[in-house]
Structure 1
Amino acid sequence: MYVIKASGAKELFRGDKLAATLKRVGLAKAKIEEVVNKVKLSLSRKPTSHEVIERALNYLQKTDVAAAARYNLKRAIMQLGPTGFPFEQYIARLLTAYGYDVVTNVQANGFCVHHELDLVAKKDGRHIMIECKFHNSPGLRSDVKTALYTWARFLDIKKAWEQEHGHTKEFHEAWLVTNTKCTADAIQYARCVGLHILSWRHPEENSLEKLIDQKKLYPITVLLSGNQMLFSKLIRAGFVLVADLAKVNLNELSRRTGLGGKRLYGIHQEAQALIKDSSPST
Structure 2
Amino acid sequence: MKIVKHSGVIVDFNRSKLKESLLKSGATPAVVDDVLQLIEKEVYEGISTKHIYKMAFGLLKKASNSHAAQYNLREAIRLLGPTGFFFEKFIARLFASEHYETKVNLNLQGKCVSHEVDVLVKNNNVITMVECKFHVGRDAVTDVKVPMYILSRFNDLKERQHEIFSRGESISKCWIITNNRFSTDAVDFAECSGINLLSWDHPTTNNLKNRIDNHRLYPITCLTTLSLSEKEKLLILDVILVQDIIDDRTYLEKIGLSPKRTKNVMKEASALCRF
Indicate whether the TM-score tops 0.5.
yes
Distance in 2, Cα, partners of 1:277 & 1:227: 17
* Residue 243 (structure 2) aligns with: 243
Task: String of CA shifts for 1:82-129, please: whole Å, max 9, x gaps.
Answer: 111010111111111111111011010111111011011111111101
Q: CA deviation at 1:29?
A: 4.1
- AA aligned to 2:252 is L
- AA aligned to 2:152 is A
* Residue 194 (structure 1) aligns with: 194
- The unaligned stretches of length 5 or more in structure 2 are none
Distance in 2, Cα, partners of 1:186 & 1:3: 29
* Residue 73 (structure 2) aligns with: 73
Q: Is the 2:107–2:117 contact (alpha carbons within 8 Å) kept by the matching residues of 1? A: yes
Equivalent runs, 1:33-52 vs 2, <5 Å: 33-43=33-43, 47-52=47-52
- AA aligned to 1:11 is V
Aligned pair in 2 of structure 1 residues 52, 5: CA closer, same or farther (>3 Å)?
Answer: same
Task: String of CA shifts for 1:11-65, please: whole Å, max 9, x gaps.
Answer: 3322122123224444454443322221121346753222111111122223244
Partner SS state of residue 159, structure 1: coil
Aligned pair in 2 of structure 1 residues 268, 203: CA closer, same or farther (>3 Å)?
Answer: farther
* Residue 217 (structure 2) aligns with: 217
* Residue 253 (structure 1) aligns with: 252
Q: Is the 2:35–2:56 contact (alpha carbons within 8 Å) kept by the matching residues of 1? A: yes
* Residue 12 (structure 2) aligns with: 12
Aligned pair in 2 of structure 1 residues 247, 144: CA closer, same or farther (>3 Å)?
Answer: same
Q: Is the 2:178–2:200 contact (alpha carbons within 8 Å) kept by the matching residues of 1? A: yes
Aligned pair in 2 of structure 1 residues 197, 225: CA closer, same or farther (>3 Å)?
Answer: same
Q: 2:274 aligned with 1:279, yes or no?
A: yes
Equivalent runs, 1:1-282 vs 2, <5 Å: 1-43=1-43, 47-161=47-161, 166-167=168-169, 172-250=172-250, 252-255=251-254, 257=255, 259-261=256-258, 266=261, 269-279=264-274
Q: CA deviation at 1:261?
A: 4.9
Q: Is the 1:43–1:51 contact (alpha carbons within 8 Å) kept by the matching residues of 2? A: no
Aligned pair in 2 of structure 1 residues 18, 128: CA closer, same or farther (>3 Å)?
Answer: same
More displaced 10-residue stretch of structure 1: 121-130 or 10-19: 10-19
Partner SS state of residue 217, structure 2: coil
Task: String of CA shifts for 1:237-272, please: whole Å, max 9, x gaps.
Answer: 12111111233335x5323x3x3459xx53762343
Aligned pair in 2 of structure 1 residues 270, 41: CA closer, same or farther (>3 Å)?
Answer: farther
Aligned pair in 2 of structure 1 residues 240, 58: CA closer, same or farther (>3 Å)?
Answer: same
Distance in 2, Cα, partners of 1:174 & 1:138: 25
Q: Is the 1:73–1:222 contact (alpha carbons within 8 Å) kept by the matching residues of 2? A: yes
- AA aligned to 1:49 is T
Partner SS state of residue 129, structure 1: strand
Q: Is the 1:129–1:175 contact (alpha carbons within 8 Å) kept by the matching residues of 2? A: yes
Count, aligned residues = 272
Partner SS state of residue 19, structure 2: helix
- The unaligned stretches of length 5 or more in structure 1 are none
Q: Is the 1:223–1:271 contact (alpha carbons within 8 Å) kept by the matching residues of 2? A: no
Aligned pair in 2 of structure 1 residues 20, 194: CA closer, same or farther (>3 Å)?
Answer: same
Supply the RMSD in Å over aligned alpha carbons.
2.5
Q: Is the 2:88–2:118 contact (alpha carbons within 8 Å) kept by the matching residues of 1? A: yes
Partner SS state of residue 104, structure 2: strand
Q: Is the 1:2–1:47 contact (alpha carbons within 8 Å) kept by the matching residues of 2? A: yes
Q: CA deviation at 1:190?
A: 1.1
Q: Is the 1:225–1:267 contact (alpha carbons within 8 Å) kept by the matching residues of 2? A: no
Distance in 1, Cα, partners of 2:54 & 2:85: 27
Distance in 2, Cα, partners of 1:136 & 1:202: 18
Q: Is the 2:25–2:71 contact (alpha carbons within 8 Å) kept by the matching residues of 1? A: yes
- AA aligned to 1:272 is K
Q: Is the 1:65–1:274 contact (alpha carbons within 8 Å) kept by the matching residues of 2? A: no
Partner SS state of residue 244, structure 2: helix
Matched residues, percent identical? 32
Distance in 2, Cα, partners of 1:214 & 1:275: 16
Q: Is the 2:65–2:224 contact (alpha carbons within 8 Å) kept by the matching residues of 1? A: no
